[in-house]
């Protein structure tokens, strides 16, 4: 055992030890069972040998620097590009940004009493807003699938209480609604065609609500598809992982 410890205690300075046999045994000062006579011999060697004294001082500073975190040893395992904190933060931010953009662009999942009934019938229907969607009270555009043979369309918009009634006409398959009252309001839109006998009365209709930007965002989040939710969670995970990797480095 002494031989192995002696081989590990080589003096690394450029100075020459005055007595390498004793200098290679300075590690015995850290062992509790070293006798007092042996310790005095080793201390006397340190007082006379500049090489061993310098080497011990450097070792002490190195150990103190590592314990205080002022010095960091290079990792022996090479870091892959995907393990870098900057890459993780960039990819995570891109995923979160893409998730938010898709939440705005993609329509939410329909919800309401007539969802299953209307989904089972293959007929023209409203594209936006979808059943149960929350929209802003201003700059809302309704769109629908074209009806064969129709020369124009008419949209009748009413509220649940019956206190609001609006009618708009267009030759296109979309129509911008008028500015509605602020606050939460449930509306129902009914589409009719010209000529009117192309579609049964009330067949193409949709119910939706108006609300604030926060209410609309909450509605989009609650009705987001599973894959989009997982995309956002993955982005947040990578951003958190980048912070952990940066602190570890």
pLDDT tens for the chain, residues 1 to 249: 444 444 444 434 456 888 888 888 888 888 888 888 888 888 888 888 888 888 888 887 777 777 777 666 655 445 565 667 778 888 888 888 888 888 878 778 777 555 544 444 457 889 989 898 999 888 889 999 999 999 999 999 998 877 889 999 999 999 998 888 777 788 999 999 999 889 888 889 999 999 888 888 888 888 888 888 888 888 888 888 888 777 765
Q: What span, in angstroms and rounded, lies between the C-alpha atoms of 28 and 46? A: 13
∠ at Cα 127 (125, 131), nearest 5°? Answer: 80
How long, in residues, is the chain?
249
Sort 151 into a burial class: Cβ within 10 Å, 0-12 / 13-18 / 19+.
exposed
Check: CB of residue 206 under 8 Å from CB of residue 186.
no
Determine the Cα–Cα distance for residues 130 and 115; give it in Å rounded to an integer: 9
Q: CA dihedral defined by 193, 196, 199, 201, rounded to 10 degrees?
A: 100
pLDDT of 116 reads 44
Please tell me the pTM assigned to this model. Answer: 0.52
Structure confidence at residue 74 (pLDDT): 58
Three-class SS state of 24: coil
Other CB atoms within 10 A of residue 156 CB? 15
Q: What is 178-215 written as a DSSP string?
A: PPPPSS-EEEEEEEEEESGGGS-TTSEEEEEEE--HHH
Beta-sheet strand order (sheet of 185-194): 134-135, 204-210, 185-194, 152-159, 165-170
Q: In 3D, which of 233, 218, 244 has the Cα closest to residue 98? A: 233
Rounding to the nearest 10 degrees, give the CA dihedral for residues 222, 227, 228, 233: 90
Q: What angle do CA 147, 151, 155 make, to 5 degrees?
A: 70
| Structure-block tokens of residue 69 | 């975190």
What does the alpha-carbon distance between residue 146 and residue 170 come to, in Å, rounded to a whole number?
12
Give the number of other CB atoms < 10 A from CB of residue 175.
19
Q: Tell me if 158 sits within 8 A of 145, measured CB to CB.
A: no
pLDDT at 71: 66
- What does the block give as tokens for 117? 């009934």
């Amino acid at each position: 055992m002494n031989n192995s410890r002696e081989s590990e205690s080589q003096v690394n300075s450029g100075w020459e030890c005055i007595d390498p046999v004793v200098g290679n045994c300075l590690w015995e000062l850290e062992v509790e069972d070293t006798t007092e006579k042996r310790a005095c011999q080793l201390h006397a060697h340190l007082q006379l040998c500049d090489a061993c004294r310098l080497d011990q001082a450097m070792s002490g500073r190195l150990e103190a620097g590592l314990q205080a975190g002022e010095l960091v040893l290079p990792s022996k395992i090479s870091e892959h590009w995907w393990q870098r904190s900057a890459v993780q933060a960039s990819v995570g931010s891109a995923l979160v940004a893409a998730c938010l953009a898709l939440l705005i662009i993609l329509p939410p999942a329909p919800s309401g009493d007539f969802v299953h009934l209307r989904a089972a019938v293959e007929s023209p229907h409203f594209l936006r807003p979808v059943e149960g969607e929350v929209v802003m009270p201003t700059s809302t555009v309704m769109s629908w699938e074209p009806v064969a043979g129709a020369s124009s369309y008419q949209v009748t918009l009413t509220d649940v209480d019956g206190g609001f009634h609006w009618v708009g006409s267009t030759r296109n398959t979309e129509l911008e609604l008028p500015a509605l009252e602020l606050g939460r309001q449930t509306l129902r839109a009914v589409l009719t065609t010209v000529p009117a006998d192309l579609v049964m009365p009330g067949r193409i209709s949709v119910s939706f609500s108006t609300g604030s930007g926060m209410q609309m965002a909450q509605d989009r989040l609650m009705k987001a598809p599973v894959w989009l939710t997982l995309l956002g969670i993955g982005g947040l995970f990578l951003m958190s992982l980048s912070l952990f990797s940066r602190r570890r480095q």
